[in-house]
Amino acid sequence: MPHMQNAPSLILGIALVVLLLLIAFSSGTEVAMLSANRYKIRAAAKAGKRTARVLDSLLSKPDSWLGANLVMLALASVAASSIATLLAQRTAYEHAIPVTMAALSVVIIVFCELAPKIYAAFKPDPVALSSAYIYTVLVFLATPITWFTNKAAYGFLRLFGVRPGGTDSSLSAEDLRSVVAEAGPMIPTRHRQMLLSILDLEHVTVNDIMVPRQEIASINVEDNWEDILDLLRQTPHTRLPLHDGELDNLIGIIHMKRVAQELARDTLSRERLIELAQAREPYFVPEGTSLTVQLNAFQRNRRRLAFVVDEYGDIQGFVTLEDILEEIVGEFTTDPATVTHKHVHREAPGVFIINASATIRAVNRSLGWQLATDGPKTLNGLLLEKLETLPEPGDRVELGEYQFEVLQIGENTIRTVRARRAAPAATA
C-alpha cells in the first residue's frame, strides 16, 4: 500500500484503466461461457479444433473457471476502488471522494458490466472461444485460491442439502424437441419436421394410424370363385387378408406376387389360394402399442403388416410399416400440387374433399388443423359422435371453426365429406 501511495498519478491512472478492462473482461466472458452452445463447441472439438477442445474442457469443470473468474473480478474491483480513492484524495477537492465513487460506479455498471455482458449474450460462442486460452492460464494461477474457496463454498452448500457432482448436460425428449424446433435455418424445415415426427412416435399408438376394420380390403374364401378372381385381378394392394366368413377368422395373408404366378400358369384354385395364405400366418399386435415399439417389432420379426386386436382378440384394424414411415417422412405422393394426403384432395383454395375413413391425426397433419384427437380416431367417427345419428348427403356439420358437408354415405358410415376452415371473422 505505501508503494501505491507514492506511485505517480499517471501510473495509477493507467493501472485503473487496466483494472477496469479486467472487470469488463471478467463480466463479459462469464456470460459468454455460461451461454455458449455446448453442443456446437463439442462438435467442433470432435472435428479437431484445438481451441474448441480447450473450451470444452473448461466448460466441463465450471467450478474451476468460475472460481478463477470471481477471484480476478474481486481483486480487480477492490484494487480499482482503492486506486480511484487515492487519486481522488490527491486532487485536494472537498467532495472528490464521493464524486469519484459515483463516477466509478457509473463507469463500472455501464462500461464494465452491462456493455460487455450484452455483447457476450449476442455472441457467446466467439467470445468464449477467444477467451479459452486466457482462462486456462487463469485457472492454473488461481488454483490455490479456488481450491480453498470451492471447498468453503461446497461446505456451505452442504448445509442446504446440495452435494457436489458432475453437471448433467444430457437432453430429455422435450429439451431435444425445443432444440430442433428453434434450430431455424440451421436445419431445413423438412428435416426439422422429420426429427420432430421421430420424437412423436413414442406418443402415437397404432390406433391413431391404423386402417379401421370396415376399411380393410380382404377376401372371404366363401365368396363366389369368379368374384374372388375378379378381385385378385383388380386389386391395387400387394397383400390381402384371406378369411373364412368373418374377418376375425383369418386364414393368412395372400402375397399378390405369388398369386400372379399362379394366375399366369392357370393353376390357381380355392384350395391353392388357401395354401398360399397359410404359408404366412397373420401377425397380431395389441391396441395401444406405441409406434416406437411397433417399428422395432416390425424390424425384429421382419414383418410389414400387423392386425390390431382389442383385449378380446377382435380385429380393430391393421397397420403397416409404410404407415409408420409416413408418420416420419410424410405422405408418399406423386402429385403434391393436388394431393396433401391419400385421403385428402384439394378441390379449391381452402376447400378439400376428404375420405371420412382418414384418421384425424392424418387430416390435422396434412392440413395443419387442430381437430380433437382424444376421442374417435377417424373423421367418420368424429362426425358421427357429433351428429349422434347417420346423416344424409348434403347435411352440414360444424366442429368449432371447421365446417363439413356430407357428400357420400355407405354401409352405415360417412364415406366422403367436403371440408373447409371458417374465416376468423365468420368464426367470431
Residues 143 and 223 in one domain: no
Among 81, 83, 77, 115, smallest CA distance to 101 is for 81
Residue 383 lies in domain: 339-427
3-state SS assignment for residue 206: helix
Kind and range of the H or E element at 308? strand 305-309
Task: Please tell me the least confidently modeled range out of 148-152, 209-213, 270-274, 323-327.
Answer: 148-152
pLDDT of residue 265: 87
pLDDT of residue 37: 84
pLDDT of residue 326: 82
Residues 351 and 310 in one domain: no
Residues 255 and 345 in one domain: no
d(Cα 329, Cα 193) in Å, to the nearest integer?
8
**DSSP E strand boundaries for 131-233:** 211-212, 219-220
Q: Which three cell numbers stand for residue 233?
A: 385381378
Residues 39 and 152 in one domain: yes
Among 263, 284, 318, the domain boundary falls at: 318
Residues 301 and 359 in one domain: no
Per-residue pLDDT at 78 exceeds 50: yes
pLDDT of residue 172: 65
pLDDT of residue 281: 83
pLDDT category, 425, cuts 50, 70, 90? very low
Residues 348 and 414 in one domain: yes
pLDDT category, 3, cuts 50, 70, 90? low
pLDDT of residue 405: 92
β-strands 239-243, 396-399: how paired? Answer: unpaired
pLDDT category, 404, cuts 50, 70, 90? very high
Per-residue pLDDT at 191 exceeds 50: yes
Angle, vertex CA 12, rays to CA 7 and CA 13, nearest 5: 150
The total domain count for the chain is: 3
Residues 223 and 307 in one domain: yes
pLDDT category, 337, cuts 50, 70, 90? very low
Range list of H helices, 182-336: 189-200, 206-209, 225-234, 256-265, 270-278, 291-301, 321-329
Per-residue pLDDT at 258 exceeds 60: yes
Question: Is 165 part of any domain?
Answer: no
pLDDT of residue 331: 60
**Average pLDDT for residues 216-220, to the nearest whole number?**
89
Q: Which three cell numbers stand for residue 146?
A: 479456488
pLDDT of residue 169: 54
Long-range contacts of 57-65 (CB under 8 A, 24+ apart): 58/33, 58/132, 58/135, 58/136, 58/139, 59/33, 60/167, 62/167, 63/146, 63/150, 63/164, 64/139, 64/146, 65/33, 65/135, 65/138, 65/139
The pTM score is: 0.55
Residues 30 and 107 in one domain: yes
pLDDT category, 284, cuts 50, 70, 90? very high
Question: Is 273 part of any domain?
Answer: yes
pLDDT of residue 211: 84
d(Cα 398, Cα 3) in Å, to the nearest integer?
87
Are 353 and 418 a contacting pair, CB within 8 Å? Answer: yes
Residues 130 and 252 in one domain: no
Q: Which three cell numbers stand for residue 265?
A: 400358369
Residues 356 and 222 in one domain: no
pLDDT of residue 341: 62
Task: Please tell me the least confidently modeled range out of 86-95, 125-134, 171-180, 247-256.
Answer: 171-180
Per-residue pLDDT at 166 exceeds 60: no
**DSSP E strand boundaries for 321-427:** 339-341, 344-348, 351-355, 396-399, 402-410, 413-421
d(Cα 120, Cα 27) in Å, to the nearest integer?
9
CATH of the domain at 250: 3.10.580.10
